[in-house]
Protein backbone atom coordinates (compact mmCIF):
# COMPACT_ATOMS: atom_id res chain seq x y z
CA UNK A 1 0.00 0.00 0.00
CA UNK A 2 1.27 3.48 -0.86
CA UNK A 3 1.90 6.08 1.85
CA UNK A 4 0.33 9.13 0.19
CA UNK A 5 3.73 10.84 -0.12
CA UNK A 6 4.99 12.05 -3.51
CA UNK A 7 8.29 12.88 -5.15
CA UNK A 8 8.90 15.15 -8.11
CA UNK A 9 9.73 13.63 -11.48
CA UNK A 10 12.68 16.04 -11.55
CA UNK A 11 14.45 13.72 -9.09
CA UNK A 12 13.95 10.74 -11.44
CA UNK A 13 15.13 12.68 -14.50
CA UNK A 14 18.31 13.76 -12.75
CA UNK A 15 18.95 10.15 -11.73
CA UNK A 16 18.52 8.91 -15.32
CA UNK A 17 20.89 11.53 -16.70
CA UNK A 18 23.40 10.76 -13.95
CA UNK A 19 23.24 6.97 -14.40
CA UNK A 20 23.25 6.86 -18.21
CA UNK A 21 25.30 9.93 -19.01
CA UNK A 22 22.68 10.87 -21.61
CA UNK A 23 21.64 14.51 -21.76
CA UNK A 24 21.85 15.64 -25.37
CA UNK A 25 19.02 14.54 -27.61
CA UNK A 26 16.58 13.91 -24.72
CA UNK A 27 13.54 16.20 -24.78
CA UNK A 28 12.29 16.99 -21.27
CA UNK A 29 8.70 17.27 -22.57
CA UNK A 30 8.95 13.71 -23.89
CA UNK A 31 10.21 12.57 -20.49
CA UNK A 32 7.23 14.18 -18.72
CA UNK A 33 4.81 12.52 -21.16
CA UNK A 34 6.48 9.11 -20.70
CA UNK A 35 6.26 9.43 -16.92
CA UNK A 36 2.53 10.11 -17.15
CA UNK A 37 2.11 7.09 -19.43
CA UNK A 38 3.96 4.90 -16.94
CA UNK A 39 1.80 5.90 -13.95
CA UNK A 40 -1.37 5.32 -15.97
CA UNK A 41 -0.13 1.93 -17.17
CA UNK A 42 0.52 0.85 -13.58
CA UNK A 43 -3.11 1.81 -12.99
CA UNK A 44 -3.24 2.01 -9.18
CA UNK A 45 -5.80 4.61 -7.95
CA UNK A 46 -3.66 5.48 -4.91
CA UNK A 47 -1.00 6.78 -7.31
CA UNK A 48 -3.03 9.98 -7.60
CA UNK A 49 -4.32 12.60 -5.18
CA UNK A 50 -7.93 12.12 -4.10
CA UNK A 51 -9.75 15.47 -4.22
CA UNK A 52 -13.27 16.88 -4.29
CA UNK A 53 -13.92 19.55 -6.94
CA UNK A 54 -17.01 21.69 -7.44
CA UNK A 55 -18.35 22.03 -10.99
CA UNK A 56 -20.93 24.64 -11.93
CA UNK A 57 -23.67 23.37 -14.22
CA UNK A 58 -25.23 25.66 -16.82
CA UNK A 59 -27.64 24.53 -19.51
CA UNK A 60 -27.24 20.96 -18.29
CA UNK A 61 -23.47 20.74 -18.64
CA UNK A 62 -20.25 21.58 -16.83
CA UNK A 63 -16.58 21.54 -17.83
CA UNK A 64 -14.40 18.82 -16.32
CA UNK A 65 -11.04 19.86 -14.79
CA UNK A 66 -8.13 18.97 -17.06
CA UNK A 67 -6.15 16.97 -14.47
CA UNK A 68 -8.86 14.43 -13.62
CA UNK A 69 -7.73 10.82 -14.04
CA UNK A 70 -10.53 8.84 -12.40
CA UNK A 71 -13.99 9.83 -11.12
CA UNK A 72 -15.03 8.11 -7.89
CA UNK A 73 -18.50 9.58 -7.27
CA UNK A 74 -20.65 12.62 -8.05
CA UNK A 75 -23.26 14.39 -5.93
CA UNK A 76 -25.64 17.31 -6.36
CA UNK A 77 -25.35 20.14 -3.80
CA UNK A 78 -27.92 22.83 -3.04
CA UNK A 79 -28.62 25.03 0.00
CA UNK A 80 -26.35 23.01 2.28
CA UNK A 81 -27.91 19.70 1.25
CA UNK A 82 -26.44 17.05 -0.99
CA UNK A 83 -27.76 14.09 -2.90
CA UNK A 84 -25.80 11.29 -4.62
CA UNK A 85 -26.14 11.03 -8.38
CA UNK A 86 -25.97 7.90 -10.51
CA UNK A 87 -24.70 7.43 -14.03
CA UNK A 88 -27.50 7.71 -16.60
CA UNK A 89 -28.40 4.32 -18.04
CA UNK A 90 -30.66 5.61 -20.81
CA UNK A 91 -29.33 5.90 -24.33
CA UNK A 92 -31.42 9.07 -24.73
CA UNK A 93 -30.29 11.22 -21.85
CA UNK A 94 -32.61 14.18 -21.45
CA UNK A 95 -32.31 17.23 -19.23
CA UNK A 96 -35.26 16.73 -16.89
CA UNK A 97 -35.53 18.76 -13.68
CA UNK A 98 -35.73 16.41 -10.70
CA UNK A 99 -38.22 17.52 -8.05
CA UNK A 100 -37.51 14.80 -5.51
CA UNK A 101 -36.38 16.56 -2.31
CA UNK A 102 -36.08 13.41 -0.21
CA UNK A 103 -32.34 13.40 0.36
CA UNK A 104 -32.50 10.23 2.44
CA UNK A 105 -33.56 8.02 -0.45
CA UNK A 106 -31.61 6.83 -3.46
CA UNK A 107 -31.09 9.68 -5.89
CA UNK A 108 -32.72 9.85 -9.28
CA UNK A 109 -30.43 12.66 -10.36
CA UNK A 110 -28.21 11.38 -13.15
CA UNK A 111 -25.22 12.38 -15.24
CA UNK A 112 -23.20 11.34 -18.26
CA UNK A 113 -19.64 12.14 -19.34
CA UNK A 114 -18.66 13.16 -22.85
CA UNK A 115 -16.51 15.72 -24.71
CA UNK A 116 -14.64 16.83 -21.54
CA UNK A 117 -17.98 17.72 -19.95
CA UNK A 118 -20.43 16.33 -17.43
CA UNK A 119 -24.04 16.36 -18.63
CA UNK A 120 -26.67 16.35 -15.87
CA UNK A 121 -30.40 15.71 -15.61
CA UNK A 122 -30.88 19.26 -14.26
CA UNK A 123 -30.03 22.46 -16.10
CA UNK A 124 -28.64 24.74 -13.38
CA UNK A 125 -26.76 24.11 -10.15
CA UNK A 126 -23.53 22.69 -8.75
CA UNK A 127 -22.11 19.21 -8.39
CA UNK A 128 -19.25 17.96 -6.27
CA UNK A 129 -17.02 15.33 -7.83
CA UNK A 130 -14.79 13.05 -5.78
CA UNK A 131 -11.97 12.21 -8.16
CA UNK A 132 -8.33 11.27 -8.52
CA UNK A 133 -6.11 13.95 -10.05
CA UNK A 134 -2.55 14.09 -11.34
CA UNK A 135 -0.40 16.40 -9.19
CA UNK A 136 2.48 18.58 -10.41
CA UNK A 137 5.14 20.53 -8.54
CA UNK A 138 5.90 24.26 -8.76
CA UNK A 139 8.11 23.66 -11.83
CA UNK A 140 5.43 21.71 -13.69
CA UNK A 141 6.97 18.27 -13.14
CA UNK A 142 4.50 15.46 -12.34
CA UNK A 143 4.55 14.08 -8.81
CA UNK A 144 4.87 10.33 -8.50
CA UNK A 145 4.44 8.15 -5.38
CA UNK A 146 7.47 8.23 -3.09
CA UNK A 147 7.94 4.48 -3.32
CA UNK A 148 11.19 2.89 -4.53
CA UNK A 149 9.39 0.42 -6.80
CA UNK A 150 7.35 3.23 -8.38
CA UNK A 151 10.44 5.37 -8.83
CA UNK A 152 12.33 2.52 -10.48
CA UNK A 153 9.32 1.70 -12.70
CA UNK A 154 9.14 5.28 -13.97
CA UNK A 155 12.92 5.42 -14.34
CA UNK A 156 13.13 2.26 -16.45
CA UNK A 157 10.06 3.15 -18.49
CA UNK A 158 11.79 6.38 -19.52
CA UNK A 159 15.11 4.59 -20.05
CA UNK A 160 13.40 2.05 -22.34
CA UNK A 161 12.01 4.89 -24.47
CA UNK A 162 15.45 6.48 -24.73
CA UNK A 163 17.19 3.16 -25.46
CA UNK A 164 14.59 2.30 -28.10
CA UNK A 165 15.44 5.45 -30.04
CA UNK A 166 19.16 4.71 -29.77
CA UNK A 167 18.65 1.08 -30.85
CA UNK A 168 16.48 2.13 -33.81
CA UNK A 169 19.29 4.40 -35.01
CA UNK A 170 21.94 1.73 -34.56
CA UNK A 171 23.59 3.49 -31.61
CA UNK A 172 22.84 0.82 -28.99
CA UNK A 173 23.52 -2.89 -28.84
CA UNK A 174 20.41 -5.09 -29.05
CA UNK A 175 21.33 -6.99 -25.89
CA UNK A 176 21.55 -3.75 -23.91
CA UNK A 177 18.12 -2.66 -25.13
CA UNK A 178 16.55 -6.04 -24.30
CA UNK A 179 18.03 -5.87 -20.77
CA UNK A 180 16.39 -2.46 -20.33
CA UNK A 181 13.04 -3.88 -21.48
CA UNK A 182 13.38 -6.78 -19.06
CA UNK A 183 14.09 -4.43 -16.14
CA UNK A 184 11.23 -2.16 -17.19
CA UNK A 185 8.68 -4.99 -17.17
CA UNK A 186 9.90 -6.28 -13.81
CA UNK A 187 9.65 -2.88 -12.11
CA UNK A 188 6.23 -2.15 -13.66
CA UNK A 189 4.89 -5.35 -12.12
CA UNK A 190 6.60 -4.65 -8.79
CA UNK A 191 5.12 -1.14 -8.64
CA UNK A 192 1.64 -2.41 -9.39
CA UNK A 193 1.88 -5.10 -6.71
CA UNK A 194 3.17 -2.57 -4.20
CA UNK A 195 0.32 -0.16 -4.96
CA UNK A 196 -2.58 -2.61 -4.70
CA UNK A 197 -1.43 -4.49 -1.58
CA UNK A 198 -3.68 -3.23 1.28
CA UNK A 199 -2.41 -2.70 4.82
CA UNK A 200 -4.08 -4.17 7.93
CA UNK A 201 -6.47 -1.21 8.35
CA UNK A 202 -7.78 -1.42 4.80
CA UNK A 203 -8.07 -5.20 5.07
CA UNK A 204 -10.25 -4.70 8.16
CA UNK A 205 -12.67 -2.53 6.18
CA UNK A 206 -12.76 -5.07 3.36
CA UNK A 207 -13.37 -7.89 5.83
CA UNK A 208 -16.22 -5.99 7.52
CA UNK A 209 -17.90 -5.45 4.17
CA UNK A 210 -17.66 -9.09 3.09
CA UNK A 211 -18.38 -10.92 6.34
CA UNK A 212 -21.97 -10.03 7.15
CA UNK A 213 -25.36 -11.74 7.24
CA UNK A 214 -27.37 -8.86 5.77
CA UNK A 215 -26.00 -7.27 2.57
CA UNK A 216 -25.78 -3.47 2.53
CA UNK A 217 -27.45 -2.61 -0.75
CA UNK A 218 -27.85 1.15 -0.21
CA UNK A 219 -24.25 2.19 0.40
CA UNK A 220 -24.33 4.52 -2.60
CA UNK A 221 -26.77 6.80 -0.75
CA UNK A 222 -24.26 7.52 2.05
CA UNK A 223 -21.26 7.71 -0.34
CA UNK A 224 -20.01 4.30 0.89
CA UNK A 225 -19.28 5.74 4.34
CA UNK A 226 -20.61 2.53 5.89
CA UNK A 227 -18.58 0.26 3.58
CA UNK A 228 -16.15 -0.75 6.33
CA UNK A 229 -18.59 -0.75 9.27
CA UNK A 230 -18.80 -4.02 11.12
CA UNK A 231 -22.24 -5.63 11.24
CA UNK A 232 -23.81 -5.33 14.71
CA UNK A 233 -25.84 -8.20 16.13
CA UNK A 234 -28.46 -7.12 18.66
CA UNK A 235 -29.00 -9.07 21.87
CA UNK A 236 -32.80 -8.79 22.16
CA UNK A 237 -32.78 -9.72 25.84
CA UNK A 238 -31.26 -6.37 26.79
CA UNK A 239 -31.48 -4.39 23.54
CA UNK A 240 -27.73 -3.93 23.23
CA UNK A 241 -25.17 -5.28 20.81
CA UNK A 242 -23.83 -8.74 21.49
CA UNK A 243 -20.39 -7.14 21.92
CA UNK A 244 -21.04 -6.36 25.60
CA UNK A 245 -17.44 -5.59 26.53
CA UNK A 246 -16.99 -2.59 24.22
CA UNK A 247 -16.91 0.52 26.46
CA UNK A 248 -15.51 4.03 26.20
CA UNK A 249 -13.20 5.68 28.77
CA UNK A 250 -16.21 6.66 30.90
CA UNK A 251 -17.42 3.08 31.15
CA UNK A 252 -20.39 3.58 28.81
CA UNK A 253 -21.21 0.93 26.23
CA UNK A 254 -20.26 1.96 22.71
CA UNK A 255 -22.95 -0.09 20.97
Helix (H, G, I), strand (E, B) or coil at 75: strand
Q: Give the pairing of strands 110-114 and 86-87.
A: parallel
The model carries a pTM of 0.73
pLDDT in tens, 214-248: 888 888 888 888 888 888 777 766 655 554 444 44
3-state secondary structure of 212: coil
Exposed (0-12), middle (13-18) or buried (19+): which is 69, by Cβ within 10 Å? Answer: middle
DSSP line for 92-146: S----------TTSPP--EEEEETTEEEESSSEEEEEEEEEE--B-TTSPBEEES
The tens digit of pLDDT for each residue in 84-127 reads 999 988 776 654 444 444 444 445 799 999 989 999 989 999 99
Task: Give the contacts of 29 (CB within 8 A, at least 6 positions apart).
Answer: none
Kindly indicate the confidence band of residue 249, based on its pLDDT and cuts at 50, 70 and 90: very low
Q: What is the pLDDT of residues 137-153, one digit of tens each?
A: 888 888 999 999 999 99
Q: What is the pLDDT of residues 38-86, one digit of tens each?
A: 998 998 888 888 999 999 999 999 999 888 999 999 999 988 889 999 9
Amino acid sequence: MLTGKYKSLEFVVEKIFRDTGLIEGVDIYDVVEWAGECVELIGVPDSYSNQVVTINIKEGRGKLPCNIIYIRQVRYIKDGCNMPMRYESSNFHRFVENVNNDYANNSELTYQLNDDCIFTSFEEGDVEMACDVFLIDEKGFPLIPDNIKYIKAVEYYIREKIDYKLWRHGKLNKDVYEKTVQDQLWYLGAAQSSGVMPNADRLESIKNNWIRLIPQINQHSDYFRSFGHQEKRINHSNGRSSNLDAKDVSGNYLF
